Amino acid sequence: MKNKIIYTFTAERLIEFKDRNLGQIINSTTYLNNLDNKLDLKNDFNYYVDISNLYKSNIDMKNLLIEKILANSFAQDNIYILLDENSKSKFKEEFITSFDGFKTIQTIYGEGRNYNIDFITMSNENLKELGKSLQKDLIGHDRFKEDFLEKIKNFPILYKLDEMKIFSLLINGNPGVGKTEVARILHKSLYPDSKMIKINLGNYKTQGALNSLIGSPIGFIGSERGGELSNKIRNSDSKIILIDELEKADTDIFNFFYELLEDGKFTDLVGNEYNLNGYLIIFTTNLSKDNYKNVLPLPLISRITLKYIFEDPTSIEKKIFIQKRIEEILKKYNEKIKKPKIEKSEIEKNIDYKIINNIFDYRVINRIITNALIKALEDSQRKKR
- Answer whether 2-109 and 119-310 agree in fold: yes
Beta-carbon count within 10 A of 296 CB? 23
- Which pLDDT belongs to residue 114? 46
Note the pLDDT tens digit of each residue in 231-273.
888 778 789 999 999 999 989 999 999 999 999 998 887 777 8
Q: Which amino acid is at 314?
A: T
Closest to 152 measured CA to CA, from 182, 194, 193, 114: 182
Spatial distance between the Cα atoms of 213 and 201, rounded to a whole number of angstroms: 9
What is the residue-averaged pLDDT of the chain? 83
Q: What is the pTM of this model?
A: 0.75
pLDDT at 111: 45
Question: Phi/psi class of residue 230: alpha, beta or left (left: φ > 0; alpha: ψ in -120 to 50)?
Answer: alpha
φ and ψ of 49, to 5 deg: -105, 110
Among 3.40.50, 3.40.720, 2.40.50, 1.20.120, what is the CATH number of 2-109?
Answer: 3.40.50
* pLDDT of res. 37: 64
Residue 113: its pLDDT value, please? 45
pLDDT (mean) for 314-341: 93
* Three-class DSSP labels, 23-42: CEEECHHHHHCCCCCCCCCC
Q: What sign does the CA torsion over 377, 379, 384, 385 have? A: positive
DSSP-derived 3-state class of residue 165: coil
| pLDDT, position 331 | 92
- Give the domain ranges of the chain: 2-109, 119-310, 315-384
End-to-end CA distance of the chain: 58
208: helix, coil or strand? coil
**Residue 167: φ, ψ to 5°:** -90, 125
Fold of 119-310: Rossmann fold (3.40.50)
Strand partners, 83: 104
Residue 198: pLDDT above 90?
Answer: yes
